[in-house]
Structure 1
Amino acid sequence: MNKLIESLIPIPVAAFGAWLGYLTGFPLGDLIGAICAVTALSKLGVRMRMPYPFVATVQLLLGISVGSIVTASMMRELTDFSILVGLLICMTTQIFVGYNWLRRMEKWGHIESLLGSIPGAMAAVMTVSGEQGPASGRIAFVHIVRLLALLAVVTIIAGGHADSVAPALGTLDNWLSVIPPAIAAVLAGYLLERFDVPAPYMLTGLLCTAAVNVGFPEANLHVPDPFAVIALILLGGLIGIRLKDITFKDVVRYIRAGLVVTALTFCTTLLVAFVMSKLTGKPFLTLFMSWVPGGVEVMTAAALLLKLDPAFVMLNHVVRMSIIHVSPVFLPKRLFQEQPAPLPQPQTEP
């Protein structure tokens, strides 16, 4: 089959699956529907691929979406270093316990264990793993299981309110205001790509959009929801293609791994939130909702329902997402090699 056709097939299939998933009304039903549709077609023997330009588009849209949430008032809130320190301690502990379980008990490779243990931001993790080596479906599967499990827990805590919201098309001004930072992000991302920077468009999209929001607050930058819909469809295709070789036996193992990592993440967050609550005087439940992995919108909505200082909760999740999106730049390239090349041995004279 022609490579162009193989590249185009996942898009309408993922879009159709996302539409069916959205009709179910389940939280994240559109993403799960897109993944299931592409995976099912792959299982039927239809060859599909997701070329790098599509992955770069997901990176760009993710970076722009996260950057558009950053505001000048959020930056001022970060002067309270206890917030950042507590978040970093919690994230580090979450990654540490998840990594060690996947590495030691599930016998995963070190990069798969690292990417599988990162708290939240499945989309960011998948674009990085697709670019930097082991494009294993097990990473996607563990993140999906954890995402659904945590979403269920948060929905229960919030009293069962997790209704899907119809995407807003946005105004013409919203669309026009995104164009300049998007163009700047593409140009800057292309330059970073020349230097082999991981996930370059995700980084530049975040920085360029955040710079506009912080430097020019009167611009009132708001990313229209169709940007997220496009990213979701492409991400569903990307993940679905990676799940095509997973067997039923693999599914059982990966569900177990995902549930264990989720439980470890949940317990770690409870512990760190309890300790930091005693040290800082912040309400325990507010810290827990701020540091447990989850989508910015879902966690902020849950905080509103529970009257838990939604601005503080949103700030922590935006910072967490920003750290995860930016961190690949600071990781050494050798980290993304399952078996790093041995160092050259010094030659001895005869």
Structure 2
Amino acid sequence: MKTVFESLIPIPVAALGAWLGYMTGLPLGELIGAICLVTALSKMGVRMRMPYPFVATVQLLLGVSVGSIVTASMMRELTDFSILVGLLICMTTQIFVGYNWLRRMERWGHIESLLGSIPGAMAAVMTVSGEEGPASGRIAFVHIVRLLALLLVVTIIAGGHAESAAPMLGSFDDYLGVIPPAIAAVVVGYLLERFDVPAPYMLTGLICTAAVNVGFPQAHLHVPDPLAIVALILLGGLIGIRLKDITFKDFVRYIRAGLVVTALTFCTTLLVAFAFSKLTGKPFLSLFMSWVPGGVEVMTAAALLLKLDPAFVMLNHVVRMSIIHISPAFLPKRLLQENPQPEQ
């Protein structure tokens, strides 16, 4: 009974935090509010845990959300291999510089440095980064710092107008349309889980939903905002629990690590975007907004405000998120749950 209570209590706490965060009107306020309230109660001694079924639910909702954005027209746009190559080079360089800083300067372990350097994928990383503990907490913290810093930069670039839109409840048909690919994703994900594939439901959710969208364009799959909010609440609870062991000394050190990794990512994106702008003739700002880490919705809205090509920007971010969500399947599960290396 005690275990059940500890498993259930993060949900209402995270939901309350998400509501308080939403009331602030800040972008991603729901996620930040959920994280803060769960972390605060955990620090006060309230024991909470996030069972794997909840983590699997976050994986599924993340995969379905990204997959629902993929369309047949997007797939046709990928015939321009120069842009895809540029995106891959930019992502690889972002990970390389972030990894080397965390590994060499912050003295993090190999896997922690890798997961902490992945650009703009906090949700995906937190669902595959193993159990709670010091390593998971500092990975989460670096991603939170980078998320907030990049969100601030993008908001400034967009003239201070990159606020989040009001949530849409969606129609009954929207909910019905998501059910078949979600069920297929759960079945196939369960099978992949037997083979120790990391984050199996995230992978199958993305592939099954994208397959329906591409194969049956008339389906018009759309993930209603309440489902996305459920994912944010569960994710906020997951991250908040993992931050409970962070001390004030850790807080200062991880802010430094997050800001440095963010600055390195930002500068890397600037350089690669400038180089490919010269090579391909594409506008520099379009490439920069397409390759800098950030949420698909926020970056597309910023592109609209800046009168850039929003379809091009959205395509690059969808491809980037798809690559990041699929990539854990190619890594051994035991590798992602490696014991953390003590900080020196």
The bucket for the TM-score relative to the shorter chain is over 0.9
Where 1:222 maps in the other structure, the secondary structure is coil
* Alignment correspondent of 1:31: 31
Structure 1: gaps (5+ residues): 341-350
Write the deviation string for residues 29-62 of structure 1: whole angstroms up to 9, x where unpaired.
1111000100011011110000100000000000
Where 1:201 maps in the other structure, the secondary structure is helix
Q: What is the CA–CA distance in structure 1 between the aligned matches of 2:338 and 2:75, rounded to whole Å?
A: 37
* Alignment correspondent of 2:168: 168
Where 1:239 maps in the other structure, the secondary structure is helix
Q: CA deviation at 1:134?
A: 7.6
* Alignment correspondent of 1:253: 253
Instruction: Specify the structure having the higher radius of gyration (Cα).
Output: 1
* Alignment correspondent of 1:299: 299
Q: Percent identity?
A: 89
Where 1:136 maps in the other structure, the secondary structure is helix
How many residues are matched?
340
Q: What is the CA–CA distance in structure 2 between the aligned matches of 1:335 and 1:133, rounded to whole Å?
A: 16
Is 1:60 matched with 2:57?
no
Q: What is the CA–CA distance in structure 2 between the aligned matches of 1:63 and 1:190, rounded to whole Å?
A: 15
* Alignment correspondent of 2:238: 238
- The normalised TM-score by structure 1 is 0.95
Write the deviation string for residues 54-86 of structure 1: whole angstroms up to 9, x where unpaired.
000000000000000000000000011011100
Structure 2: gaps (5+ residues): none
Where 1:47 maps in the other structure, the secondary structure is coil
* Alignment correspondent of 1:88: 88
Q: CA deviation at 1:336?
A: 2.9
* Alignment correspondent of 1:16: 16
Preserved contact between residue 132 and residue 241 of structure 2 (Cα < 8 Å): no
Write the deviation string for residues 224-263 of structure 1: whole angstroms up to 9, x where unpaired.
1111100000000000000111000100000000000000
Relative distance call for 1:196 and 1:334 in structure 2 (3 A) is closer
Q: What is the CA–CA distance in structure 2 between the aligned matches of 1:8 and 1:146, rounded to whole Å?
A: 29
Instruction: Supply the AA of the counterpart residue of 2:54.
Output: F
* Alignment correspondent of 2:222: 222
* Alignment correspondent of 2:192: 192
Preserved contact between residue 133 and residue 336 of structure 1 (Cα < 8 Å): no
* Alignment correspondent of 1:115: 115
Q: What is the CA–CA distance in structure 1 between the aligned matches of 2:251 and 2:134, rounded to whole Å?
A: 18
Q: What is the CA–CA distance in structure 2 between the aligned matches of 1:63 and 1:55, rounded to whole Å?
A: 12
Where 2:129 maps in the other structure, the secondary structure is helix
Where 2:185 maps in the other structure, the secondary structure is helix
* Alignment correspondent of 1:281: 281
